[in-house]
Structure 1
Amino acid sequence: MPVTDISADADTLTMNIVADFDAPLDRVWKVFTDPRQLERFWGPPGWPATFTRFDFAPGGLAQYYMTSPQGEVSRGRWEFLSIDEPRSFEVLDGFADADGDLTGDIDPMRMVFAFEETPTGTRLNGKTYFTSADSLEQAVQMGMVEGTRLAMGQLDAVLQDLRAYAAVKGTQIEVLDDQHVRITRLIDGPRELVWRAHHEPELMKRWLLGPDGWRMTVCEIDPAPGGAYRYAWEPEDGIEGQAFGFDGVTLVAEAPRRAVTTEHMTGTDYPTTINDLQLYEEDGATLLTLLVEYPDAATRDAVLATGMVDGMETSYARLERELIAS
């Protein structure tokens, strides 16, 4: 976690953040000023950003929106006030409407991003200036402090080369809080194929099988928002186990980048989860990130205790073997 300090100061009407990165200054500067890299972390888990405009020059504008797992959209914009490459840049940040015009009850905030070299890499000193105590309190109540901490916590993966970051790690899981876990896996293949492997029944039946000895008997999917899906598996002859399945609906679909679905074990009263799948490609490899939202910590722990991650790793390895290497 790169954030070493983040706090709101009511006396100076500021929010301050200090974050240290094990990466050179020019690399850190790049991820904050390249919209394709910036959108990988600008927004907490579950609210990824998409930048639709990025005029990186004094007086230029950047426009972006963040989409929740339920499909809610929050829009924002930056006006670049000053740029001192690669040491600092300053923006006026505010909520925006669909046309990119400023809106909302909170006044635009002046944000300064300052970077300095350290013996181990680079330090970010960020400061956000608010126009009133009410605006600062509103931002804190909206979760800006914790949201910023979680967003910056995603930077480790962004700063490193994907293959170096995920080398020989297989399927990894991080428990983020009582309700959320993040699962990551580097797939050695293009994003378009990984997306198709998650949405085309004839491909899904070749790899989405869990442990060896199981077959997928039902694979019905409507990938459009509001569309339903249903999957079912059963063991091959001689393999112990009972048939089971999952069903749900698609909440968000942004091919080939993101798909959010609900997931419920068919025929049970088990709680429903929300699965947020995101795909990012770099140098022919795809980083798969799955953010799972559980109703509570007890459900989270019960699901993780089933060996879910081991089964996912077996399936992802099969995906690379059966679809990408073939």
Structure 2
Amino acid sequence: MTEWVKITRSFDAPIADVWDMWTDPAKFQSWYGPMGFSVPVAEMDVTVGGTRKINMAMETPERKMSMWFTGLYKVVDAPNRLVYTESMCDPNGNVISPKDMGMPEGTPEVTEVTVELSEQDGKTVMVMTHAGVPAGTPGEGGWNMAFDKLGGLLGAA
């Protein structure tokens, strides 16, 4: 099992629009998370060294779930490259160890998301790599569902 998820998608949208979907909190809330999840909180200071705190939530008659993530922006090179760290946290932004969240032994406390955008034939190609999240896990499935939602908003190519 590879210790990173790498997903490539193409969108029928200008690169600036795809960049905005990753960096504008209101737009990020419109697509992020697996199907059935909403993003009630997206606090994003998209500057190098800036912090982010995201809440993904789902509520059905049978189940209620809320997950919080925090991190730091390491690279902000509009509109081509965005790199940020991600850790599970409590609602106040305090990092919670994966072990305390019931995750398997060896799950990293900090992972890193890299988003690379380029223009090809009038479309935007996005390559997202999430280092520290193994391929073939629910994390990869969640990303794919989120990108399906993103494609629905932008126009999948």
CA–CA distance in 2 between the matches of 1:322 and 1:281? 18
Aligned residue among 272, 284, 295 for 2:110: 272
Q: Report if the CA contact (8 A) 1:215-1:236 is conserved.
A: no
Partner of 1:309: 140
Alignment of 1:111-130 (within 5 A): none
CA spacing shift, 1:322–1:254, aligned 2, 3 Å: same
Q: Per-residue CA shift, 1:213-257, capped at 9, x if unaligned?
A: 221111010111000001002113426342002110001110000
1:208 maps to a residue whose letter is Y
CA spacing shift, 1:260–1:239, aligned 2, 3 Å: farther
Larger RCO (CA within 8 A; separation ≥ 6): 2
Q: Report if the CA contact (8 A) 2:83-2:112 is conserved.
A: yes
TM-score by length of 1: 0.40
Structure 1 residue 274 displacement after superposition: 1.5
Q: Note if 1:284 corresponds to 2:127.
A: no
Aligned pairs, number: 141
1:248 maps to a residue whose letter is G
Partner of 1:140: none
Partner of 2:79: 256
Partner of 2:70: 247
Alignment of 1:194-233 (within 5 A): 194-211=18-35, 213-233=36-56
Q: Report if the CA contact (8 A) 1:187-1:316 is conserved.
A: no
CA–CA distance in 2 between the matches of 1:288 and 1:193? 12
Q: Per-residue CA shift, 1:39-84, capped at 9, x if unaligned?
A: xxxxxxxxxxxxxxxxxxxxxxxxxxxxxxxxxxxxxxxxxxxxxx
Which of these two proteins has the greater Rg computed from alpha carbons?
1
Q: Per-residue CA shift, 1:170-224, capped at 9, x if unaligned?
A: xxxx94xxx544322222322111100001111111111311x221111010111
Q: Per-residue CA shift, 1:249-298, capped at 9, x if unaligned?
A: 0011100000110110113213101211111111222211122332xxxx
Unaligned runs of 5+ in 1: 1-173, 295-299
CA spacing shift, 1:307–1:241, aligned 2, 3 Å: farther
Alpha-carbon RMSD: 2.2
CA–CA distance in 1 between the matches of 2:12 and 2:62? 30
Q: Report if the CA contact (8 A) 2:25-2:43 is conserved.
A: yes
TM-score by length of 2: 0.78
CA spacing shift, 1:309–1:262, aligned 2, 3 Å: same
CA spacing shift, 1:316–1:293, aligned 2, 3 Å: closer
CA–CA distance in 2 between the matches of 1:191 and 1:227? 22
Q: Note if 1:322 corresponds to 2:150.
A: no
Tell me the secondary structure at the aligned position of residue 20 of structure 2.
helix
Unaligned runs of 5+ in 2: 91-95, 99-108
